[in-house]
Structure 1
Amino acid sequence: MIKVAMTGVYVDDVATAHAFYTDVLGFETRTRMDLGDGTLFVTVGAREGAQPDLQLLLEPGQGPIAEPYRRALHEAGLPCIVFSVDDLQAEYDRLRGLGVRFTHPPQEQGPVIAAVFDDTVGNLVQLVQPKE
């Protein structure tokens, strides 16, 4: 069986993204290596043993491929990644209390309730909760 092991998100600044994804969103650091010249290799993942094999790579978003891709997603209002939560309203309230800016509050979208926020490093991120 093939499983997802790692997926990447292009970000404006890896160190800033690392702080946001751990301190605000609550992920844990899986890998943090200084590759020299100010380049960081950072992966994060869900806490408490949830999805232990799945990592999110925070990748530098500069360059001829990443920049147009990120700009097009953001201008279209599309999230670069989707995270699931058990209680979207509680997570929305928690994140708003921490100053996270949402582009749309929780609302029904087909089989899920979804909300989208700005991750402060150049991306829109969607949170979803399956409808019961």
Structure 2
Amino acid sequence: MTEIGRGPAEEETFFDAVGGEETFRRLVHRFYQGVAEDPLLRPMYPEEDLGPAEERFALFLMQYWGGPRTYSDRRGHPRLRMRHVPFRVDRAAHDAWLRHMRTALDEAELRPDLERQLWDYLTYAAASMINTLDDPA
């Protein structure tokens, strides 16, 4: 009897390494708990309930990091900068966003190398969303 080979071992994705969907959903939920109470960021979410925004962000992060392609199946290409154009994203908004994300990431208790990789991406992404220069004093 011949055994059918599986081919080269599949490489573990970042998504799998951090704990998959459960980890990303916890991270994003904690992030939105901070956003819900933030006077600068909350107005950027026009929906009364933050649930839809939370779902979109969780799906985006999961797909970006190697999980299911549900985000693109539902919403198409992410077009992050375009989707943020209607909102004033200045340095203060950037800082507030990262502050809530830092809290969420700290509470996620990821392995240090994975935490650093995710944080590097999040800080890069936050900086790329800035679309309003601070007013000179």
TM-score (norm 1): 0.32
Higher share of residues assigned helix: 2
Bigger radius of gyration among the two: 2
Greater strand share, structure number: 1
